[in-house]
Structure 1
Amino acid sequence: MSEGGVKRAASPTRAISPPPLRRKVATVTKKSVANFFTPASQKKPEPITWRILGTSLIVGKYVPEKSAPQTVSEQARRIASFDLDSTLIKTISGNTFPKSPKDWQWWDPAVPGKLKELNSEGYQVVIFSNQKMIKVQKDIKHGNSESKSLSNFKEKMTAVMTQLDIPISVYAATTDPEYRKPRLGMWREFQDDYDLDVSGIDLKGSFFIGDAAGRPGDHSNVDRGFGTNAGMVFKTPEEFFLAHPPMEVPEIFDPESYIKSAPGSPRESESFARKHPLELVIFCGSPGSGKSTYFWKNLEPLGYERVNQDILGTNPEARKSLPGIAFADYGRRYQAPTLDEGFEDITPVEFEFKGTDEEKELWRQYWI
């Protein structure tokens, strides 16, 4: 140090280290110690359990800590079932898809109180939701046991069910069309999980609430179709939670109306007859409309040969299941053939159901 008592300036080239951090002392509570040594059989069960079926169905079940154990009753159960997005919850951000697991709020302030009321009245409350954006596959690249989209969904649903704090389950279908609404894969899984084949379901006293109702502006009518397929009463969130009158819906395809009820129905088609030794018959119809079935039943016995994309193999996409939007596009672009195009005759073929009662039940359902 110099005579003036002035300290030497620090060298600008010398590394300046931050002060050392104090080591945090980990504390262990008596509760955590006791829980660690408690036998598994004596530990309290977790309120939420999750399981994955294949790569297409996510099932979460919430049982409150003070909930009475479920008993098998001989009385038919009433089911209060709901869609999730735009029915029970909506995003805070206003986006169609949430930005994060915390980007949600109740669709209306009346929602949680209404669900708790239904539980107190003896309804089994359950959520059925199509969640195509969720990837069930594990995130191996980043060393995670599950994908980020699945983790986010679990976190969000844990918050939703915890706030409700009533016995409730959520079924979320990702990619497999058999589980996705309007098909009944989720509904059947729910019946198995709750042993409802024992007590049965009071379908007249049960209902399904969803926003995809086929109204102008709705993205689809899969919720209405799901409720109809299951045999439950269907309502929109506005009708159920806000007591709005039902909105008029444009005429929706009704598969029931296309099933022949009895022999001699006006829909019954006439038998096909060959008119010339050499003929070319062209079928005009969308995928799944019955062209192949008609050929095998009416033309193949008469010696006709069949040519299509399935046989030629020129279009690999021809064998894939199509979404509802594709059929809507077919309907929009369809132009009925005319004699002016050079055809000798045009024969409309009305749909005529032939099959067992079990097959008829399948034909009565909505599939897309």
Structure 2
Amino acid sequence: MPPARARKSPQSGGKRPAEDDHSVSPPPLKRKAQTAISKTAVANFFTPTSQKPKERTTWNERSPDEKTLPTLLVGKYVPEETSEKTEPLVGKKKIAAFDLDSTLIAPASGKRHSQDAADWKWWHHSVPSRVKQLHSDGYQIVIFTNQAGLTLHTDPKFKGPKNLKTRVAPFKQKCSTVLAQLDLPITIYAATAKDKFRKPRPGMWEEMKADYELAETDIDHENSIFVGDAGGRIAHLKGGTAIPKDFSCSDRNLADNIGIRFHTPEEFFLGEQPRDFARDFDIANFPFEEEDEDPKFAKTNRLDMVLFVGPPGSGKSTFFWTRLKPLGYERINQDTLKSKDKCFKAAVEALQRGNSVAVDNTNPDPDTRAQWVELAKKHKVPIRCVWFKTPLYVCEHNDAVRSLNKPFNPEDRESLPKLAFNGFASRFKEPKVKEGFQDVTEVEFKFRGTKEEHAIWARYWI
């Protein structure tokens, strides 16, 4: 046998001395390759399609309106022994609704978000048995979850990541596995956009009622529940450990919107006492009041100009239609006219026709307002100012109500981004008479409408 050759060491790249024949070890046994493919999966691959078990979860997509692409993903799980036919309703139906993430399940990896379809575990080991007990007690189980990270349909003009839709399939796979382990008749609703379906907005609840053919009067609201981790809980210390505040109050607000009891996962599954919570905007502070005529504003000039000042959603347009339109004012609005030059032109033409005008724009700063003051001087008419002192959080709420409810949105306005409100705040300077106004009328916010309209307005929409 020829002498053994020197071999390079993979670590050093150099040579090492030749070894004697008796020191050469036999090649190590190959370690069995680790695989995630089970014997069942292999057998299932070779099983004819007609003999494979039926997929118990069926999926569909829904749109918020006729002109919008689908944004709601709905998965319905039907156990094998359960007929899909809806049982006749006997008495009022009890609903047990749950959030998904950080309520029923959590990432097994310990990371904030699941990394793939297999990265999940039960939030607590008691979750499956507790949910199954609710089903045995006659509850209809449903899941309402916000999933802004999913994109069902990408707008062709979208300039962001092109792989957003790839997240949908793993999400479906994860949910199908969760539902299969519970093996109960459950429907999951996943809102993927900031539209009427997103919690705390009641769109998913309305879809659930339609799916189960339930009227609001068919539901036992007193005994129905919603369990979610977004409860608006404030930060506190527990055993010397700092427990952070909740990221949102959307789950608690959804429960309030639909009129059922709310629990956090800690309260429902672990029996812990409720923690203190807070809302950025509490609708309870704005109860319905019979509307009285506002005596602050009256027409004092035969011909004049009125300049509105206030953020988007502060009530300017409503004030015009209910207060100034009946007094004969013409409305000048840049949202409809599309440019400032067209607004100036329309105002001049109205004044030349002998009609007073109301400039229904935000007009946040003195420089913007000065242009209107100069226009009024040029045409020798007084200019008055109406300042809408509505807090920004109320304005954002009003904007959401308007964009999501047709009765409040005769001009079909779309919801505004938060930048629109922050932009106004960054430019705003309090209007003063010395800017050239005849007077400045301050208007505090008050809901102006019917009791039926207040019932829609007085929900949590953001």
TM class, shorter-chain normalised? 0.7 to 0.9
Residue 67 of structure 1 corresponds to 82
Residue 101 of structure 2 corresponds to 85
Aligned residues: 323
Q: Deviations over 1:189-242 (max 9, x none)?
A: 111111223981101000111122223332322212211111111122222122
Residue 222 of structure 1 corresponds to 250
Give how far 1:281 is off: 3.6
Alpha-carbon RMSD: 3.5
CA distance in 2, matches of 1:296, 1:251: 32
Matched-pair contact (CA < 8 Å) for 1:259–1:351? no
CA distance in 2, matches of 1:190, 1:241: 24
Q: Secondary structure at the match of 1:156?
A: helix
Matched-pair contact (CA < 8 Å) for 1:210–1:224? yes
Q: Secondary structure at the match of 1:204?
A: coil
Give how far 1:93 is off: 3.0
**Which of the numbers 43, 48, 54 marks the counterpart of 2:57?**
48
Q: Is 1:236 aligned to 2:264, yes or no?
A: yes
Q: Deviations over 1:44-85 (max 9, x none)?
A: 754211111242111111122233664112311111101111
CA distance in 1, matches of 2:421, 2:269: 31
Q: Deviations over 1:336-367 (max 9, x none)?
A: 8365875633422331332362x332112111
Over 3 Å counting, the alpha-carbon distance change for 1:202 and 1:299 in structure 2 is same
Partner amino acid, structure 2, of 1:225: N
Partner amino acid, structure 1, of 2:456: L
Over 3 Å counting, the alpha-carbon distance change for 1:86 and 1:177 in structure 2 is same
CA distance in 2, matches of 1:160, 1:125: 13
Partner amino acid, structure 1, of 2:256: T
Give how far 1:334 is off: 9.6
Q: Deviations over 1:150-181 (max 9, x none)?
A: 11111110111111122211011112501111
Residue 260 of structure 1 corresponds to 288
Equivalent residues in 2 for 1:271-286 (5 A)? 272-276=297-301, 279-286=304-311
Q: Secondary structure at the match of 1:196?
A: coil
Which structure: greater strand fraction?
2
CA distance in 2, matches of 1:366, 1:198: 18
Q: Deviations over 1:117-158 (max 9, x none)?
A: 211211111100111211213899xxxxx9321111111101
Q: Is 1:133 aligned to 2:227, yes or no?
A: no
101-110 vs 154-163, which moves further? 101-110
**Which of the numbers 327, 337, 341 marks the counterpart of 2:430?**
337
Residue 98 of structure 1 corresponds to 114
Over 3 Å counting, the alpha-carbon distance change for 1:326 and 1:78 in structure 2 is farther
Matched-pair contact (CA < 8 Å) for 2:144–2:204? yes
Give how far 1:294 is off: 0.3
**Which of the numbers 214, 236, 244 marks the counterpart of 1:196?**
214
Over 3 Å counting, the alpha-carbon distance change for 1:331 and 1:111 in structure 2 is farther
Partner amino acid, structure 1, of 2:444: V
Partner amino acid, structure 2, of 1:347: E
Partner amino acid, structure 1, of 2:286: Y
Matched-pair contact (CA < 8 Å) for 2:267–2:274? yes
State the TM-score, normalized to the length of structure 1. Answer: 0.75
Identical amino acids, percent of aligned pairs: 40
**Which of the numbers 128, 138, 153 marks the counterpart of 2:171?**
153
CA distance in 2, matches of 1:159, 1:123: 21
Residue 108 of structure 1 corresponds to 124
CA distance in 1, matches of 2:425, 2:307: 21
CA distance in 2, matches of 1:222, 1:251: 10
State the TM-score, normalized to the length of structure 2. Answer: 0.61
Residue 226 of structure 2 corresponds to 208
Structure 2: which 5+ runs fail to align? 1-41, 64-69, 157-163, 235-244, 341-398, 400-412
CA distance in 1, matches of 2:290, 2:298: 24
Matched-pair contact (CA < 8 Å) for 1:79–1:123? yes
Residue 304 of structure 1 corresponds to 329
**Which of the numbers 294, 299, 317 marks the counterpart of 2:319?**
294
Residue 367 of structure 1 corresponds to 461
Structure 1: which 5+ runs fail to align? 1-26, 141-145
Q: Secondary structure at the match of 2:440?
A: coil
Q: Is 1:185 aligned to 2:203, yes or no?
A: yes
Q: Which one scores higher on RCO, CA 8 angstroms, separation ≥ 6?
A: 1
Matched-pair contact (CA < 8 Å) for 1:134–1:150? yes
Partner amino acid, structure 2, of 1:236: T
